[in-house]
Amino acid sequence: MKTAGAEPVPPSILLVEDNPAHAELVLRSFEVCRTDIKIVHLTDGEAALDYLFRRGHYADPQQSPRPRIVLLDLRLPRVDGLQVLAEIKSYPDIKQIPVIILTTSSAETDISGAYERHANSYLVKPAEFEELIQLIEALGKYWLDWNSSLTR
């Protein structure tokens, strides 16, 4: 995104992941393949909704810019990932933000539940770090480079 006379603003990603090890792997994967992004990492569904709806600590839009994409785990404290997804997709001001489920679950009920709530994509985290880097690289290319969206 570029504004007149200003430096390009790096795209931001909202990562909602409560497992510190998983979050660290995703963050490291982005460091390996993308240096042009800003990642906001939150650890529970309630904080994610507060951020996206600009409530409480995140009320200032300068402190909570709209992300280009949301990477959302399913098993979250406070508010479950599917509930977060449903709230995002039911609110007109933010429903156009692509939400990519990034989880360890390959259960059919989770996959169908995510798509019923209008997830834009469902990705299962690979066990190997090298595979995760490849997945993150492809995700970044598709959602940040190739895909046209209203959140640019």
Instruction: Assess if residue 3 is contained within a domain.
Output: no
Question: Residue 148 domain-assigned?
Answer: no
DSSP class of residue 117 equals T
pLDDT in tens, 64-119: 899 999 999 999 999 999 999 999 999 999 999 999 999 999 999 999 999 999 99
Structure confidence at residue 85 (pLDDT): 98
**Is there a contact between 92 and 36 (Cβ–Cβ < 8 Å)?**
no
For residue 68, the domain's CATH number is 3.40.50.2300
Q: Which domain holds residue 131?
A: 12-143
3-state secondary structure (DSSP) of residue 31: helix
Look-up of token digits 């603003």: 9
The dihedrals phi and psi of 113, each to the nearest 5 degrees, come to -60, -40
Q: What is the pLDDT of residue 116?
A: 98
C-alpha–C-alpha distance, residues 18 and 93, integer Å: 26
Does 2 reside within a domain?
Answer: no
18, pLDDT greater than 50? yes
Output the CA angle 48-11-132, nearest 5 degrees. 75
Nearest to 47 by CA among 17, 20, 10: 17
Mean pLDDT, rounded, of the chain = 91
**Per-residue pLDDT tens digits for 120-148:** 999 999 989 999 999 999 998 898 888 86
pLDDT in the model for residue 1 = 47
Does residue 35 lie in a domain region? yes
Average pLDDT over residues 40-53: 97
Using CA atoms, how far apart are residues 45 and 52, in angstroms rounded to an integer?
11
